[in-house]
Amino acid sequence: MENLKEILRHFPEVGEVKMIDPIPTGLINRTYKVYVAGENKIRCYILQCINHVVFQDIPGLQRNIELVTSHIRRKLEERGEPDIDRKVLRFLKTDEGLSYYRDKALYWRVSAFIEGSETRDELTPRSAELVGLKFGEFEAMLSDLDEPLIETIPNFHNMEYRLSQLHEAVEKDAVGRLSGVRAIVDDIDRNSVEMCCAERYYREGKLPKRICHCDTKISNMLFDRSGEVLCIIDLDTVMPAFVFSDFGDFLRSAANTAPEDEPDLGKISFNQEIFESFAKGYFSSAKSFLLPLEIELLPFSVALFPYMQAVRFLTDYLNGDVYYRIDYLEHNLVRARAQYKLYEEVRKKMPELKAYIDSLR
């Protein structure tokens, strides 16, 4: 706590800290809620230690975030939107005028906590439509950002690259876990050519990259108490990617009937109703800029993301759990199996998914 207070002293706006609570979400960064004595009530901030092993260019990452949040802020102002500080994140400057503070090897940042905001674990079909609309809007607002953004994690949603990482981990078998997972590695390999179609379209010049969020899950959205979406958070991975990344990755968590690390595979299925409402909302705000091929690939992306996540969790399991935070020894394997099961469930529903997207065109 003393050490954290010392860090906070470099952000002059913060003032006198009363209390600091860890927020135990997210698999990558460390996050805290900071309570500060205000004039007549307590104010709060969010303090984060950015994982510099995962994100190797933090000045570049913070520059992305500054560009994105100021662009969105400008758009909201132009639209005459009320209450803007609750609709886009605001990061504090350090005494040196930077949006992050470096303490030896560690990088810290602080944002204003949005009063009255909360996160949700589940969606109803009605709220899924609104959330879809908001993500489409987020992408639409960023579609005319001229400044180039860096890839904060190079090849982040590149399926070919993720498979090459898996194959490297299989080759090394660093901690002797391969013999227990041969079957799922084979399953993954059987589908790999099909799951890498987007990278091929990109090389052929048919599919563009656009600025996407790249970590669209329900827990990365803030709601007000009445359930209205306020703001999209966790902007570390905002970068150029295939536009369907945000669509597919969101449904990976939102339309899964179980948590992403569900050990009982029987509980995992794909909720078609959530898919339809989300797609409807997304389409209404994104159709103005989506190309026909991008629309055609939306159902594919719903299968791609559980598949990619299975590959990523399994790779980390084979490497000895060096990337994702785990709660127990086999956690990454349980996650990989759960995601692979979701992928299989999505595949079974592919004809229905395609028919629904066609009906929206």
> Interface residues with ligand GN1 (CB under 6 A)?
26-28, 54, 215, 234, 237, 260, 309
Nearer to ligand GN1, 36 or 188 (CB): 188
Nearer to ligand GN1, 9 or 325 (CB): 325
**Closest approach of ligand GN1 to the CB of residue 323, in Å:** 7
How does DSSP assign 205-221, residue by residue?
A: T-S--EEE-S---GGGE
How buried is 15 (Cβ within 10 angstroms: 0-12 exposed, 13-18 middle, 19+ buried)?
A: middle
How buried is 114 (Cβ within 10 angstroms: 0-12 exposed, 13-18 middle, 19+ buried)?
A: buried
What CA–CA distance (Å, rounded) separates 59 from 20? 25
The stretch near Mg ion (CB under 5 A) out of 120-128, 214-222, 246-254, 332-340 is: 214-222
Residue 260 binding target from ligand GN1, Mg ion, none, CB below 5 to 8 Å by type: ligand GN1
Nearer to Mg ion, 312 or 349 (CB): 312
Nearer to Mg ion, 219 or 272 (CB): 219
Nearer to ligand GN1, 19 or 27 (CB): 27
The stretch near Mg ion (CB under 5 A) out of 129-137, 179-187, 229-237, 341-349 is: 229-237
- Other beta carbons less than 10 A from residue 175's beta carbon: 13
Show Cβ contacts of residue 151 under 8 Å, excluding neighbours closer than 6 positions. Answer: 239, 240
**Closest approach of Mg ion to the CB of residue 215, in Å:** 4
Residue 54 binding target from Mg ion, ligand GN1, none, CB below 5 to 8 Å by type: ligand GN1
Identify the CA nearest to 52 among candidates 3, 17, 101, 112.
101
Identify the CA nearest to 184 among candidates 299, 313, 273, 297.
313
Q: Does 249 bind Mg ion (CB under 5 A)?
A: no
**Closest approach of Mg ion to the CB of residue 304, in Å:** 18
Nearer to Mg ion, 215 or 261 (CB): 215
Identify the CA nearest to 4 among candidates 63, 57, 46, 59.
46
What CA–CA distance (Å, rounded) separates 113 from 73? 16
**Closest approach of ligand GN1 to the CB of residue 31, in Å:** 10
**Closest approach of ligand GN1 to the CB of residue 338, in Å:** 11
Name the residue number minimizing CB distance to ligand GN1: 28
What CA–CA distance (Å, rounded) separates 233 from 117? 12
Nearer to Mg ion, 29 or 277 (CB): 29
Figure out which of the listed residues 129, 137, 234, 262 binds Mg ion, where binding follows CB under 5 A: 234
Q: How many C-alpha atoms does 123 have within 13 Å on its Cβ side?
A: 32
Figure out which of the listed residues 129, 215, 261, 316 binds Mg ion, where binding follows CB under 5 A: 215
The dihedrals phi and psi of 228, each to the nearest 5 degrees, come to: -75, 145
The residue ranges that bind Mg ion (CB under 5 A) are 215, 234
